[in-house]
Amino acid sequence: MKTKAHNLYSKLISICLLILGFSACGSLSDDDIEPIVCEYGVPSAKYKVSGKVVTAEDDKQEVKNIRVVMIENVDESKVTYLTGDTVFTDTNGEYKIERIGHPGQEFIIKFQDIDGEANGQFEEQTEIIDFKDAQYVGGEGWFKGEATKDMGTIELGSMQKWWNECDTE
């Protein structure tokens, strides 16, 4: 008796799963033109940021070898720097950095002088760049596309000027 009840119960569950499984494969109604497509993954987008770094003094000279770091705008104590999010300015002070992330994000862009006195000493500067209303190009499926922003000219203040002010006090 117990075996027959178990077999009957197994058959009923199999029939229910079979019916539910087939109903999940169709469209919502006969009027739907496109079938429902199951996709796996998460939405993503590629972000490209470019600009130029110059001195804040009157001569506005290009600054080379400034580290430019692009991270998500989150609590920095919980951020791990990922590969490919750091570039250095070229001899013209220009940079181009790319990052893949979720669509509609804000990023922190840090400008850091790491070569010491070799190129002049400059203060670290942080900028926030917003991609919440960005225009994406070339997206398909879960990939939203590429969004590009030019930050223009970033002026870094000299640490030497700061040191000179401290010496006079």
**pTM reported for the whole predicted model:** 0.67
pLDDT in tens, 104-159: 888 889 999 988 777 778 899 999 999 988 899 998 888 999 999 999 999 988 87
Of 63 and 159, the structure prediction assigns the larger pLDDT to 63
Whole-angstrom CA distances from 37 to 24, 34, 78 are 11, 9, 35
DSSP strand E in the chain: where? Answer: 44-55, 66-72, 86-88, 94-101, 106-113, 125-130, 137-140, 143-156
- Going 156 to 47 to 94 to 91, the CA torsion angle's sign is positive
Which CATH class, in words, describes the domain spanning 44-168?
Answer: mainly beta
Structural domain spans, the chain: 44-168
